[in-house]
Amino acid sequence: MQERRYFTPGPSELFPTVKTYIQEALTRNLLSQSHRSREFQSMAEDTKTGLRALLGIPPEHRIFFLSSATEAMERTIQNCVGSQSFHFVNGAFAERFYQTAVELNKKPRQYRVEDGQGFDFSNTDIPPETELLCLTQNETSTGVAFKEADIADLKRRHPDMLVAVDVVSSVPYVDLNYSLTDSVFFSVQKGFGLPAGLGAVIVSPQAMEKARMLQRSISIGSYHSFLSLEQYDQKNQTPETPNVLGIYLLGRVAAEMNEYGIDRIRVETDEKAAILYNCFDNAPRYDPAVKERQLRSKTVIVVNVPSGAQKVIETLGEASIAIEGGYRDKTHQFRIANFPAHRRMDVDLIVSLLR
Ligand SMILES: *Cc1c(COP(=O)(O)O)cnc(C)c1O
């Protein structure tokens, strides 16, 4: 039987070598070692080194391991905001980030546009007392992506504000200038093709400073405050017993991607995205949900099907390819992920089946 391939936006197709690396972790007895041991420290350090090389993370930025991206939203708000965050909201995940600030008793404001729309950055009214700007670089619910240059421009225009960027469904493809960001976070079950249960946040010195300042007057959390995470990170450890297997697998996959070349991964992602969008732009039954081409995500492709999405999902299902319905509209929309684990030959197959 043909193995099922998962073009779902996350959890998604596992990176092809993950099985080998899980076996390797068992063989090396890594999963019985203490998280205070030399073995763990050296392994965690390797993972961070691999991520730095892959994503271009500056040495002065810290990488902290968390349990998920949702946790990273909460930690970012707790550690970077006394009261005023400002959120660019154009879909469900950006909305979640905003709600997190509401639930933590902050006073968030938002620039909200309809799902699937972009923002007018030249004409954005950001209150001067804003402490943190929150962006969902790749809105998985709608298939809209921010241009990297727009994020850098925001920071250049507001150097006193911190900038938080959710890159969950675009990493490692997204090419950010990390020097112009303060908290960038992701979880591993999307672009890295790993089992869920691990998140990471990349934190700037400016954000660490803010956490230190806030801690004097308010709670910034307990074991996973940026300060507690930093204290352990200096020893290549984590405050709690972490997801050791997840950290190991992330390091192995990052090393493999480094070997393969991030530029090549980006080019291939662009090529696969072009094939998919080209198909949906030219077949009358389909209608890409994001009309403005510049806003279209390369890693999560969202398509409207006025005649019904179920049939499409079934057709691909019969060929052992799993995709997912729309985030809000499961009846007339589907989503296809385009991550490094997704092979060109399967993309060609999808296109030939759907055309
Ligand atoms: C999946 C996703 C999240 C949530 O990730 P978890 O690992 O489930 O916490 C957050 N933001 C975006 C854009 C996502 O796609």
In short, whether 243's Cβ falls inside 6 Å of ligand 1 is no
In short, whether 166's Cβ falls inside 6 Å of ligand 1 is yes
**How large is the average pLDDT for residues 275-302?**
96
Length of the chain as a residue count: 355
Query: What band does 282 get if pLDDT is binned at 50, 70 and 90?
Result: very high
In short, whether 187's Cβ falls inside 6 Å of ligand 1 is yes
**Closest-lying ligand 1 atom to the alpha carbon of residue 189:** 7
Q: pLDDT at position 98, please?
A: 98
In short, whether 132's Cβ falls inside 6 Å of ligand 1 is no
Bridge partners, 337 (sequence order)? 300
Ligand 1: centre distance to CA 83 (Å) = 24
Ligand 1: centre distance to CA 100 (Å) = 13
Determine which residue's CA is closest to atom 6 belonging to ligand 1.
69
pLDDT digits (tens, 9 = 90+) for 134-162: 999 999 999 999 999 999 999 999 999 99
Q: pLDDT at position 123, please?
A: 81
Ligand 1: centre distance to CA 187 (Å) = 7
**Closest-lying ligand 1 atom to the alpha carbon of residue 141:** 15
345 phi, psi to nearest 5 deg: -65, -30
**Poorest-pLDDT segment among 56-60, 94-98, 172-176, 326-330:** 326-330
Nearest one of 102, 182, 90 to 137, comparing CA atoms: 90
Ligand 1: centre distance to CA 297 (Å) = 15
Query: Which structure tokens are listed for 145?
Result: 């992506």
Rg (CA), the chain: 20
pLDDT at 92 over 70: yes
